[in-house]
Structures are given as structure tokens and as C-alpha cells.
Structure 1
Amino acid sequence: MDFTWWCDHILAIVNRSGVVMLIDILSGSIVPEEDHAYFLPVLERALKYKGCVFLLASQSSKEGDALHVGSTEELHQTDWIIEDRPNQFHLSRFLWHLVSFTEKTVPEMYSILISKKKYQSALDFADSHRLDKDEVLKSQWLNSSHGVNEIKNILSNIKDKNFVLSECIDRIGVTEDAVKALLDYGLRITDHHKFSEVDDDNSSKVWNLRLARLQILQFRDRLETYLGINMGRFSVQEYSKFRIMPVNEAAISLAESGKIGALNLLFKRHPYSLSLFMLEILAAIPETVPVQMYGQLLPGRSPPSGFAVRQDDWVECEKMVHFINASVKNHDILIQVKTEPFVKHFHGFSWPSIDELSNWYTNRARVMDDFSGQLDNCLSLLEFALRKGISELQPFHHDVLYLNQIIYSNDDDSEMGFSMNLAKWLELSDYEKFKFLLKGVKEENVTERLHNRAIPFLCEKFRKVSLLGNVTVSDCTNRNIEESFLVRWLKDTSEENRLDICLVVIEEGCRNFQSNDYFKTEVEAADCALQCIYLSTVLDKWSTMAAILSKVSQIQDGASQVEDLERRLKIAEGHIEAGRLLAFYQVPKPLNFFLGAQSDEKGVKQIIRLILSKFIRRQPSRSDSEWASMWRDMQYLREKAFPFLDREYILTEFCRGLLKAGKFSLARNYLKGTSSVALASEKAESLVIQAAREYFFSASSLSCSEIWKARECLNLYPSSGNVKAEADIIDALTAKLPNLGVNILPMQFRQIKDPMEIIKMAITNQSGAYFHVDELIEVARLLGLRSADDISAVEEAIAREAAVSGDLQLAFDLCLGLARKGHGTVWDLCAAIARGPALDNMDVDSRKQLLGFALSHCDEESIGELLHAWKDLDMQGQCEILMISTETNPSKFSVEGSSLNSLPNQSFQNILDVNGCFQEFDGIGDDNQDVHLQKARDVLSIVAKTLAIGDRTDWASILTENGKVLSFAASQLPWLIELSKKGEHHRKISTGKQYLNIRTQAVVTILCWLARNGFAPRDNLIASLAESIMEPPVTEEEDIMGCSYLLNLVDAFNGVEIIEEQLKIRKDYQEICSIMSVGMAYSLLHNSGLKTDPSHRRELLKRRFKEKHASPSSDDMDKLGKVQSSFWREWKLKLEAQKRLTEHSRALEKIIPGVETERFLSRDSIYIENVVISLIESVKLERKHILKDILKLVDTYDLNCTERCYCVT
């Protein structure tokens, strides 16, 4: 069979059947199979160690008989099965085989024994193998209870002193005695390194031992302190924390838990360590703890004396201090090595300064009040501080004491009911504290409260500052000077409208200034009284205000001698009476309103008007005596309160109120003025008009009483023009307009901005209303439409309504008048009437007048249409003039067979309005249509050459398409042609400003018709017109006009013939010169403007005749010489020669009347000499001025009469 050492004292035996037995060779017993702890270590160790480890691998018999080495995972699996479920498997079920052998060394076996805590076996093993026993003792100590016996038996036998010392420092026994024994043993083993015994030993090991001794001393002191504060009760956990905790933190923890006794003990045992943290520790005491419980701990002005501290150890010396300061940097170590004697000798005792103590007590008191609300505790704290000598807290103590008095006041009548903590109280200013002392006072207890609390507080805090006396009324409520608390409180009280309290205080303060501290001076009291009454906004305490002033006015010493103060008092008295009056008239205002009234003049005026308005509305209505009393009150108000208001304004508003109240007779008297003020007539008139308007516009009907009142108002000034205008409006609305069927209420009239709307309403309200032209115009005048433009607008509205209603005759009459007035907006109606049907008294001139007016005022879009209509009327007018002048009828000359012949009475307007294309010949058969068209075309060809419009030359189509052209060509044109051919019509007729003969007028009419319809006139027609114009007698302007007509001739030589004919028939010199000038201009224009258009030639003619009789310039002559045709040059030279002869003949006739100019010009020398000699003889005796002309004449004709002329000269 197989066998191996399973562990140190167990042998594993395996038989052939696979049964494994573990035999403990020490006891000789078989290890039970259930003890799986013997199997697990070896199975685990097999994978970790190399070498000779006896390891058995097993395999379940169920899997086969073959034995093989299992894998590592299988071994682990086997371990797990054996460890977790050992009872489920039996070792006999596994097959085993040897894997390897291993061996154990002596140290390994020694370590195994120690780890197995077989300390005796380990000691024996150490003895047998001569090993160090410290390892066994250390393990035994570490696994012991660390009691006193263990210290004696185990720890004391350990040779490793570092281990022993660390255990003395770090190990805490389970009992008090064990802890003390450990600490004492630590002190014993460190006592061998004193500075006196070991000289010059500066090794780190020695210093570390000394540091360890300091730690042990500190832990022993802490143990004693811990046992003291816990009254002998020991707890390992609590002590372990306490001994390493900074002592100040421990003290704070005790303070927070309210353990005052323990805290007191801590302060006694560690006074030097806690001195720096004393205030912090005391502040940690709960605020609810009564101060009496820890009063002995509270610091005083100086530190206490006589602290009991243990005797110094040898290590607590100066050398150790230097070492610690130089080498130890660990904060925790520093805390553990600074024992109380150490701190005492080398740090001393620290005590807070007075300021620090004062601040701490102050903050502590505030915190106590904030967190607990126990003001008594705060007060007790401060009393302890004062007893301990901190007198600097005296003011703060007083503040807390005053607050305590306020809160715990026992006044039965007090109504304060407020909460105030100390922090808020201290944040208050001294004045606010003063106010709190007087909070809730009434008239009955204000004096007592002042004497008992407020005045003492005032005297303690501040000295009162005297007020400046030279202060005006206007700034009595807004000054930047110091005031006593009492004055400020009185002002605040007056702002709360508690004037009764102010009265009591001022009355008490004015009794005796020497015996009380209310007011410093009499001036201060008086000024305070003034400020109080002006700061109050009460509206019903006028008697109280007067009483306050009366108390001040009784002062005799000093105050009455201040002039400014007296003035202010008088002003205040006047303001009080004025306020009483405003309240009486139901317009109450606070007294301070009067101080700033001057800056709000508008508001004051509104108040005056409001007083009057409310006085008027009172029922029953006021009598004349009450109105008179009110007038006196208004004067008093102006004098005492509102001196900046004008007297005239007051009278104006008062009169306005009388008028509104219906007191017309009383208003008449006041409007004339009073003894103190007079009212200007213009303002009085304006007042009357305004009042009348208010009455009138407030009328609910046209027959109510307000209408009568409005009339009565206006009757106060019946002669005024403005008043009469208002009365006219009332008459128009109440009388005139209702007669026209228009009822407009005054309020409706007020909303109508333009009175013209009312007129239009009257015109259109009833059918036929437009007939009443005069009445409508009268209403318009009453309504203020009095200007010529306004009347024209009214007539226009009437005319339009008449036209809409079909009364064209009235519309025509009105439009004709409006056209004469130049009322341009009616142009459209004028145009419509002018183009409408015939009316009585409407002739062509009237139509033309209306159309001409419409043309001069119409818009751009209507110009063309109206111009055509005007031309039609002009043509009709010309024909009618010719008919009247010649007493002929166009029908006698119309084309034979035309339907117009059967309409002898047809008007020219109807003829001109024909729009049919061929409707006038509807009664003619188709066979004769061409004949009649040919006749009309023949008549037209007499005066027209061809069409001027485009390329259209087919007159037949024009005649058939345009009925107007055909009608005129068939009816009027033959008649006009006949008139233009008759030469006996030489008398001139009037057409506007021109006077033309009948023949000329007929030609002009034909030309106008041709031009309008686009026909080009023949030259003989134009020449006929020019001859008619230039027919003597003629003016220069008529010659120019005739020349302008001649320029339109196609054949210019026809013009030459006409001009030469005029030269032959004219006898007058001026006319001859005029026609010659025209002829020369005509020739010049034809040469220079031969190829220009007619408009250009007209411009040339116009510019030419501006030069009148100026001779042609050299440029003109040169231009004339360059013309291709020589006819115009020769003809012009001929005309110039004729003109020179004419001028010469004119000069001869002027010198020698009755001379035969032909013989002179033919140079008949005998005749010329005889005439000149006889002329000389006739002037010998007269010495006339013509002798120079005679001499010139003699020289011109080379006569031998020079000597006679000189003799005569």
C-alpha cells in the first residue's frame, strides 16, 4: 500500500482497495472522515508549492477502474465537493494514487506552530531547536486579553523594546487597571533615557523614546481626566477617542452636551491648553442653559489665579521643546506630546482682551436671544459680565434692559402687541428705539410713558440740539438740521394724524421749560408745533390745530420776539381757517396743501371751480345772501391761502357760478365789478357766452327750460356782436330749422363740426325744400355761414338738389349766378346744365358762359369732352348771330330733297346733336341716296380741298359715318357759302370784342367748322377771310392778323395779289405804311421760312412784327439775296420803293398842304420852284419853324431860291 505524511503529525495510508486512512501519530487515533479541515490545506497547497508534496489524485469508481492522474480542474472540483458537502461522499469511493513528495524546514514548522497558536509547542520547539522565543511571546501577547497578568507574564518577557513601547502607547487595555499598567510599564522602560543620565546622546532612537514618554504622560493625564469627567466609568471606545482628541474639541463636545460639571473639571485639569479656546468653548454651551449654571466659567476682566497642575516630568524640559519645534511636523503627534505642564512652561496662559471679551458677550447675548428667545438669559449674561468687571457692556446692558421693559411691560392699557428680538432691536437706531418706548401710547398715558421711559432714555443717549429759529414756512417740513428725538417723534405722530397726542405733549412741554426736558428752547417748541400741524393730513381736526397753535402763542419769553416765527404763526392761523372753509364747502384739503399751493396754481383753480360747482348743486338752491357770504369767503381764501390768485380770476369764477346757478340778476351786478375789482367787458361777455352755451348744449329738447336760460344769459349783453351770433344759432335751431322740417337737438348740433351739413340736411329733409332759397340762406347766415364763399356753397347745395329733383330752371339760375361769382366747385353742374335741354332765358351765350366756366375749373379728364361741347355751342352761336343779322334761314339754302327741309322750326342744338350716320336721309329712297351724297359732297368741295386727317379722301364714307358732318354740309354749309359770296353785307356785327361784317363772319364760321372736322380749306376761302380782315378802314393789328391768314395759303402769290390790291385801294397814309410793312414781312417770311411748318412760321411772324416798322437788317437782306427765286426779292424792293415814295409824299404834304405830289415826284422843276417860292413868300411875316424844312426841300430839288430863304431867315 501507499503512505505519506499528510501533515506534520498525520500519516496517510492507502490500501489496495483504495481505502485511505489518516492516522494521528501523536494520539494514535484515526482521523474521522468528517474532519475535512485535514484535507483542504494539502489539496490547496499542492498547486502552490514545488517539490516533494505528497498529493493523491482520486477518481470516482463509477467512472472506471483505470487510475490516471486527474487534471487540475478535477482536483479543484474534488476539493469543492469535500469542503462543501463532505457528508455526501465517502473517501472509499475514490481511487487514489501518489502524485509527489515534499518536505518542511524548521522555521516553517516553527511558524506553523505559532500560526496554529500552539504557543507551548512552539516554545518547546524553540528550546529544542534553539530559536528566539520573542515571536511566540509577541503572538501570544497580541492574541491575549492584554490584562495586568499578561503584562507581567508575557509583555515583560519580550526583549524587543520597540515592540513593547509601541504596545504601551498604542494598545488600550480592556480595563482601567490594564490601561494604567501599560502606561506605567511604558514610563518605566523610557525612564532610562533622562537628559542627566545620558549625556550627548542625540540619536534618533533616544529622541523617539523621549517623544514616546511624552505621549505616555499625555495619555495618563487624559486617562485621569477621562475618569474624572465620567465619574470613574471606563469605556475603551470612548477613552480611545478622548485621548487622541484635541482637548479643546473635547471641551466643545462637553459644552454642546450641556455637561457643565465635566466642562468645569476639564477647565481645571487643562487650563493652559484650553485658555486659547475658552470663548469658543463657552459659546458652544446651549443657549437654553441658564447662565447661573456656568457663571463660574465666564471670563472676567482678568484671568483667574492658582491652577492645580501635576508635577513636571524630566522629559518636559526646554531641550525637548526645541527638539519638537525643530523636528516634529505631524500635527497629531504634536497634539499627543503637548502635556499640560509642557504648555504651561513654554506657551503660558492666554487671556482674551477687553475688546474680545466685550464682543464675545455681545454676540453671545444676541445668539442666545436668536436661538432661545430668552431675553432674561441675555440679561443675566450681561449682569455676570458687569459683575466680573467688564463695564464696557453697560450701554449694551441698558439696551437689553429697555427691550426687556418694552416686552414685559405691565401696562394694562398698552396695545403694543409686537415681537422684537435682540438683533432687530440692536439694528434699530436710537430714535427708533425711542419710538418703541412710546409705541401704543394714548392721550391718557403719554405723559407718564414719557416721564418713566422715553425722557430718561433721551437724556441718557444724546444731548438735545437747539433748533434754528430763522426757518420759513415753506421749508418747515423739510430741513436738514438736527432735531431732538421728541420733536421727530411728534412729527411722526402728526403724520399718523394723531394730533390729540401732539396737543397733550406740546401742552405739557410748554408749561415749564426749566422743570422738564421736553423742549430745549421755546423756539424749538413753536417750530415743532408748526411742523406737526403741517405734516398732518387729517381733514377734520381744525380745532385741535388751532389749540396747538394757541399753546405756542402763549409763550412770552423769546418766541414772541422772533419776527419770522410770528409771521409763520400768523400764516398758519390763516391756513387753518382756510382749511376750515374748504371743509365747509365740501372740498377738504390737508393743511400742508397750502404750503405748496403756489406751485400748483392750476390745481388751486380747479378747487375754486369745484367749490362753486358743489355750492350750485346743493338743494334747496342758495339765496342771494348765501351767495354774498360765499363771495366774502372766496375773498378770504384768496387773501389768506391763495394770494397768488388774481382778484379778477376769483370774480370771474364767481360770476361763472352765478350764471350756472341761474342767478342772472345777481350776476348782472357782479359782472359790472365790485369795489375791489372790476371785470373787463370782453371777459364778462365771454363768460356770458360760455354759460349760455352750457345751458344750450345741455338742453334735452328744443322747448326745455335750458333754452330759456341760455336766452336769459345772452340778454345780459344784447348789444354785443358775439352774443348776437350765439343768439342767432339758438334762433336757427329752435325756430328756423323746425319750420324747414329739421329738428336738431343742441347736443347733436355740438357734434356737427361743419354747419354746412345742417344746411344740406334742411335742403334734403323734405321734398321741395330747395324752393326756399332765401330762408335757407338766412339759416346759413344765422349758423355763421356769412362769407361770400359760404353763401355760394349754400347756393351750390341748393342748385344740386334742384337739379336732382328735376327743377333745372332753378338750378340754371343759381349756376349762372355762381359762375359769375367764380365758385369753381360747381363746374360739373354748370357743364351738365349747359349741355342739357333748353330752358327759359337760356340762350347760347348763357350756355357758353356755363361751359366756359366749367372749362376753367374742371379736372384734366373732362377738358376734352367739355371743349367739344363748347365748340358745338360756339358754332351754334355764330349761326344764330348770322340768322338774326341777315334775317335768313338755312333751310332755304339746304340741299334739295334733304329731310331737314321739312323741319323749318328745328333748333340748331338739335341739329348739332345728331349722332346718326345716315339717319337724316332715312326717308329718301336708295336710288336717290347717291345723288344727295354727291350734292352734299359738291357743296363741301366748294370750301374744302381734301381731308386733313390721315390719308382718308373718301368724303362719301365720312359723310355717311358722321351724321353731324352730313347734316351741317346739307343744311348750314350752303347757307354760309351763300352769305360769304354776297358783297352787300358790309355792316359789321358784334361778336365779343371783335366787330366783323357778315361776309367775314360767314367765312370764319365755315373755317371753324372745317377745322373742327379735319377738312383743309381752299385758298379762295382763306383769301376771302384775309380780304375781309384787311378791308379799310383797318388797324395795324388787323393787317397783322390778315397776314397771318395769308401765310396759310397754299399758293403764296395769291397773297401778293391781295396785298397789292390793298395798296391800290388804300388812301390813308398809316394804312398804306401798315400794308407795306405787312407785305415786306410776308415776302421775308416766305423766303426765310419757305420750308418750315405753320407753327414755326407763326413764331417767325410774331417775332418779326415785334420789331414793328424797323428796317430789314443786313442779315435779312443777305438771306433774301440767297433765295433761289428772284420774285420775292424784286417784289420786296418794289414795296420798299413804294414805301419811300409814300413817305416822301407824306413829308411834302406836311410842308406844303395841297401840293400835287405826283408833279413833285416826277420832278416838274417849274411847278416845284413856283410852289416853293410862293411858300417862302407866305412865311416871311410869320417866321415859322418850317423854314428849315423849306431849306432842306430847296437843297433836295436843286432850286434857286436859297437867297430868299436866307433873307427870310
Structure 2
Amino acid sequence: MASTSAYTQWASLPDDEITTNYVETTLSAVPDDLWVAAAACLDRAVNNTEVQESLLKLGISRTERVIQRCQDTLASEETEAPDTIHNSLVEYFVNSPIDARLCNIRSILLQRLDRLNTYVEMEKSALESGDTGVEDDVDEWEDDPWADGTAGSSTSTTDTRTKSSPQLPVSLSSFLLGDIVRLACELASLEAFSALHILFKRHGPVLWPFRFVILENIPEHIHPSLYNFLLPSYSPATNSEPTMISEPWRMQPDFVEARQCQSALQESNLALDQVHTVDGVGYEAHHLLLSDDELSTWYKNRVNRVIHSSGMIDIALAIVQHGASQGIPGLDELGEELSLLSRLVYDAPQADEMDDDWTLARWYSLEPLAVVHAYLAHSTPGSLAEDISRLVMPYLYVLEARAERAGSPDPSLPTRILYEYILSAPLEKAAVIFEASKPTLPPAQRLIRDDEDIARLALACLYGSDSLDEWSTMSRIFECLPAWDISRDDDNDEDVADTTVASLGTFVKPSIMHPCSTPSELLILFKPLSLSSLSRALDILDVHLESGEIFSRWSVPAPLRWFLQSNGDINEQRSWANRMARRAGGQQDQLNTQEDWEWLLEDMLKLTGKGDNGLKGAFGLLSRDEVTRIFLSGLLSTGKFDIAKAILRSPRNKIDLDANTIEDICISCFHELYDNASSGNYKIGDMKLAYDCLDIPRSSNRLVKEKQFVEATSRISSFNVQSRPGIPISPIEIRLTKDRLSLISRVLSSNNDAYKHTEVILDLSYKLGFAEDVVAEVKVLAMLADTALQAEDFERAYENSERMVDIVFKLRASSELDADDPRIHEVTEVCWIACFQLGRQPEFEELGKRMLLLGRALELCPAEKLHDVLTAWQRLENEDIQNREERMTHRRSGTAAVSSPRKLVDSSLPINVASTLRARLQDFHMPSPPLLSTPDAAALASRTFKSVAANFPFGHRGRSQLSETDDTGSHRSTSTRRTEGEDVSAHATRVLSKGIGWLIGADEE
């Protein structure tokens, strides 16, 4: 009853109410060993270490008698053979299952007691070091106003643990019942290394096969010094991993823990107690010791995993350093690489936001030059020299040492890679390196210690650069170069200089296969140069730098290699001089005064001369006169004519050019401005600049003609002449027109009233370049007359025809011209056709003027055209006779004559014209035969006129159809005449021509 009551009370008692006093008084009094050991001690696992210890000790003490019985049984066998002992135990356990169960319980309780002692030690260690693996909970307020008043008052009087003891990341009950390997992995992941160390020390034999599993649970970012007790080491004696030394709680195992007893218990086929997981189930175990190669591989894999997961190179390096300190082979080179990589990641300057993901694979893939670039990628000019000394040079020396260890020593490797970096670095960084290598510095402080190497590197860097705006940096580099005191022969020096410049120019000249020379390629060219040639190359560099600064000053920078390329190319120099004169002038905020332009001229002239070292400047192939002409052209192209006049007329005039040359330059600039003008109005835009440009030199006939042509262009534009429908004619079209008289025709065609302004049109022709051209004047008058005729303005047409006739007769009467002069024939042809065209128009009611015009046509036309003119004359004569008869009839009848709308021929035809006509007719013996009255004669005259005047297309406005007068004075339509059969018309023409030919004395076939 007592035991039943105690069991019931024990089963209903909560874990937190169990006290050591209850264990010592109540449980100890229960006589049933199995119940106490199994129900009370084995089935209960509390979190109070003192209570748990009392339970475990009580349970173990209740199993002491069964151990004695087992030993007595074995003693009765009187044998020490293992098999006999094993069989005896199996038989005993089968016959005494309670004792077998007690033995099993004892082994479990002993393990729990060991774990309890370990847990207590872990707590003590955590209290001393503060390492619990978890963050300490924030202390609650003692007077928390939100508390319910029960939490603080429910403290068990049986809980004797110190409240200040820090809690481990695992509870005592879990620690006692859990898989110890899993517990170790949990402590490793929670970084509770002090507890983990104690766990390995006390339970090493169990945990050691799973050491690598536990290591994998340690976060990769943790420094290895915190868990170095767990990292594998190396034993040179065995050339493998040594066995871990542990300190178990019990040096001698208990009877029930012996192998024979445990084996007997397993073979007794009894249902034994298993209240916790078998240690290590589900984890990969490594019972064998790792060899040296396996250890090296493990460390390398660990390093790769650390870098891949966390990117912490310093942690990886610390792991390798620990392995190397343990003597593990094959880690020295890895440690060396990680040390260099660590310098790159942690010691080298970095960007504000580091986005580089460095891994060993990436590091191994880099060439040495790429590594140097990575070291110095974010170095500033102020830190570059120091970064090279503390980061780059140690790396290069490591490479040299490796090459030597590999059996292929390369003493030049550090300098070679450093030179490659300098050649590929920006000029600003290169300048810093050259400044840290000045010959004036102590050798130990110089990055580059060879003076000739400095010179070659500088030449290669500068001539291989494409920079256009770093002239101050280039000058800094030049100032760092050595100056050798070398005696030279002048002639030989000049030859060496020319040869050096020529060879450099050929080398850097771009081609399709080799568009640009790199600094590395140029260094190859400079390497074989002797000290003397190298010094001369520096003299050349000095001249080129000065020229480059001048170019940059005037906004026409060129890469330094251009000065080599253009050294023997006069066209390239001329092109750049033009660019300099024009682009510098285009900087409106730069050249606004006479002094500025004079300064530009001084610099341009300076580039044509030779320096003290006998080397030519950038324009050395151009003469001073040519450069001055280029300068003046550039000045004029900007339109700053006031400055140009001031310079040309200044007492200190630096433009040493004759008047004709200045005039040529001004006219050339005028043509450029004229051709670029978008409007012909010479009051605005480029046309105004072109017009004003002609006022710069002293006036001359040539300049006056050009100005008149500008005025003519402006006037043509004012008449809205179009090149295509809707598009006004441009100035350049006007200037490129070969037959400028056609421009007059286009003016007359494009404006209905233009023909009325005879003097304006004539003045326009004069300004177009025909001021003293009589032929052109006659043609213009003919165009005016034809345009007036088209507009049926017969009076103006007559006036222009009379004016044309006067000019022709004066020209024919001139003693200065020969009668066979082609100009006389040309103006005569134009004149008689114009007179004939107007004289034969029936709508022109001034009969006298028409007869006068036809008379002029008869007088001027060639003999083969007389029959055409006489036909028209016959019609007018018949009309005149009819008018006379009508007047006489009215006079005889006494009736007042009605005024005829047409004037009589004798009242309008001048005596000289009539006598001339009479004389020509008498010479030809022509009494005006009726045969000449054919209407086709007028058409023939019209075609003849058009063929002669083909060079000046008249306007085609006015009447759409003209009428002609037949022999009786009546009118017939020309369209009717055109509908006659071709055979009749052709036959009449042949008969008429044959008759006229006979009349004028032509040879008859």
C-alpha cells in the first residue's frame, strides 16, 4: 500500500514541484528498487540540476544490489573467458529479467549523470565567460505595473538554483534526453563554443567521429580562433590526423557499460528501456584518421565555402593560417594567395559602396597586370605612390619568388609588370608615379630607379595618349624626366632629330590594319634608342608639348602623336592652321579684341619657326606668309571686320602682306560668305558680311564689280525669282549661273511689271558684269521689248526697240570695230529680229512706227531674210495705200475725212530710213512683187528670231494667239494658217525662196 500510494503521488506530482527533500525522504523509503529506478528516476527528467542529480544518484544506488548479484553469478563460474562470461550473463538475464532491466536502467542513469555533470560544468563556464550562445534576456522590471501579480509570487521553494545563472541554449531535460551529436551541432550553430568545448572534452569518444559534421554547423563568418579546439590538426609522426584526447567523468567504465554486459543485454531478447535517441543516428561519421592530403583538401574546401557564403577573406585566411600552424602540408601557397587577396579586399582603397564579390576562383583567373589594376583601382593621386609600395610591390615580389621556386627565375618580372601598369594607367596616375621616381629623389624612395626607363616610359605614355585636355599633367610628367649633359655635333644632332621624328611619325601613322599605336607598342620603339637619341627625343617632346599647349589654348587641341604624324605632311599642317584660325575665331567669348587676335597671330607664327634646339614647330613646313594669309582668312570668316581693319591699318601691323594678296584674301572670304548666305538681301545676314568684307582693302575695280554683283543679287532676290516652284533662288545659284543674262529673263518672267522699269533692269545687267558690254545691253533691251510686246505694251516695246536701234547703228558706225566683228553681227541679228517682231504685229496701231521698225529690219537683216521682212512690209504698204485712197476720196467729195486710227507712212517714216530702204530695193531691183505677200514669211521670221535669241528666253505671257494681216488688209488667224497642209506650205516656201534668191542675185543651180 505504501508503494502504491507513493507511486500515485509521484505520478501526479509536477516536475517543478519535485524537491531534493522529497527525493531523499519519500522516494528513498520506497522498497521497490525497480519502481524507484524506472518510474521515479528513469522516467523523470527535470530542469533543476540539484533535483535531477538527487534522482539520478537515488536510481543508481537502487541498482547496486543487482550488480552484486551479477558479479556473484560470474564469480561462481570461476572462469575469465570472454565467451563464458558472455554466455553466463545472457543466461542470467534471461532467468532474471528484472535484474536485466535494472542493469539497463543503470547504464542509462550513469550516462545521464555524466551529462548532468557536463551540463553543470557548461553552466559554470558560461557564468564565468558569459558565453551562452544566445543573447541575454532583458531583465524584467521588478515592479512591472502590467504584471498580474502571480509571476513573482509563484517561486517554488524547492527551486534552489541561483537565479543569476545564465541559461544555456538548451534545457537540462533536453540535454539529458537528446542525441548528443545533434546537441553538439546545435551548440555549434549557436556559437556556444565554451559549452561545445566542454562537451567534446567530456564526451569526446562519442562526438569525435562526427567532428566534421559539427564543424559544418559552425557559421562560416566565425573566426577559427573561437573553435580551434575542434579544427583538425596534423601529426608528422603518423603523417595523418591525431586522435582527440578527452577527459571523461569516469576513467573506468561501470560493470553494466562493459562490452560483455551490453552484448548480453542485447542478446537476452528482453524489452529493455530506450528513453533517448541513439547518439549519431542520421549523421555521417568519420572514424578513420584523415591523411595529410585529406586534411589539406578539407581546409581548402572550408576556405572556399567560407569565401563563397560570407565573402570574408580574413576568416578564410585565419583558417588556412591555423591549418598551416598545425603543420598541415599544401596550405602555404593557399595562405599566400589569401594573404594577397586579403590585402586587396581590406587594405586597398575601396569605393564608397563596395560591390565587388571576390572569390578564389576570380582571383586565380586574374593576370598579374589585372591584379595590379584591382589593387589601385580606387587609389587617389595622393595615395597612389604609397599604395604601390605597400600593396603592389609585395605582390610582385611574391610572383618573383614563386617563379624562382618553380625553377624559372625572372628578376625583371616586378619592373615589367609595373611598367605595363604605367603604360595602361591614366595620365594623372602616371604623373604621380613619375613624380615618385624623380632622379632627384634617393634611390630607395623611387618607384622607378632607372633614368633611361623613366624617359622611355614617359615618351610611350605621352605619345600613346589620346588626351586633348591634360597638357598640364603632361608637363608635370616632362618635368620629372632626367636631363643628360651630352655634347652634340650640330649637324649630326639635326640629322638624328629628323630621323627620330620621321621614324616616329611613320610608326604612329594610322592605317586600316593598325589604326592606333598603343603605349606598349611605342615602348618597343623607344627601347633600342641610345642615350643620345633618347635625349634628342626628349627635346622633340618638349617642342611638341609647347605646340600642344598652344593648340589647346586656341580650342584646336590635337593628341600628341599628331605632331609626329604631321611632321613631314604640309597638307596636314595647313589644314590644322586653317582650323586654328577659324575655330579660335569661332570662340565668341575668347577673341573679342584686337590684342587677342594679334596674340593668336603671334602663336601661329611661332609654330612656323625653330626652337633653340633646332627643331621645327607644328607649322614648320609652312611659310610665315602662308600662315599670315590663313590667319587673315580665319579672321575675316568670323565677320569681325572692325578688328581686321584695325590690325591692317595699325602702325604696328604684323600682317606683312602686299595689297594684292590682301585683296585676294578678302575676295576669297567674300565668296565663302556669299555662298553660305541663305538670303540675297545684302542688308542682313551673311550677305551683309560678304558685302562689308569688300570694304576692308583699298577700293579697286575688282572690288567694285564684286560689290555691284552683291547689289544685283539683292535686287534679283527682291523680284522673288524662284529656282523651283515655291523655292526662292539662292545666292550660290545666282553666282554659279553661267549665262547671267538668263537671270534678267527670269526677273522679267517672274514679275509682271519689271519690264516697265527699263533703267532698273539695265542697271541690274550692269551690276551683273555687263556694264561695258554693248551686246549684252542690246540683248537686255530686246528682252524688255519682247516682254512689253507679250504684255501688249507696244509703246514701251517701241521705245526699247528704238533705243536698241540707236545703239546698233552707233556700234556699226564706230571706227574702233571691224565690220566683221562678231559682236556687230550678233547685235545686228538681235536688233532686226526684235524690230521685225514688233513691226509685224497688227495689234500695234501706230502704222508709221511699225513701218519704221520694218524698215530698220530691212536695213539690218541678212540678205536671205529680206523676203520675210518684205512680206510684212508689203502688207503695211497695201494698208497705207488703202488709207491714202480713202482720204483722197473723202477730200474729192468734200467730205471731211474720218481720222484713221493708223498713221500714214510718209508722216512717220524718216527720210533716211525711206531712202535706205529705197536704195536697197533699187539695188535688188525689187518692185515689191506680189509673191512676197505670202503669210508664211511672218512665221519664218518668227522662227528665225527665236533661233537667234535662244540665249535669252523671253517671257511667254500676253496673248495666246496673234493675228496677221493678209494682202487685202483683212485679218486671218495664225492658227488657221498652221492647219494648212504641210506639202502646200513647204512648196510655197521653196518657190518663195527661189524667187527671192533670183531677185538678190543668188546663183541659180
TM-score, normalised to structure 1's length? 0.43
Which has the higher relative contact order, 1 or 2, with Cα contacts under 8 A spaced 6 or more apart? 2
TM-score, normalised to structure 2's length? 0.49
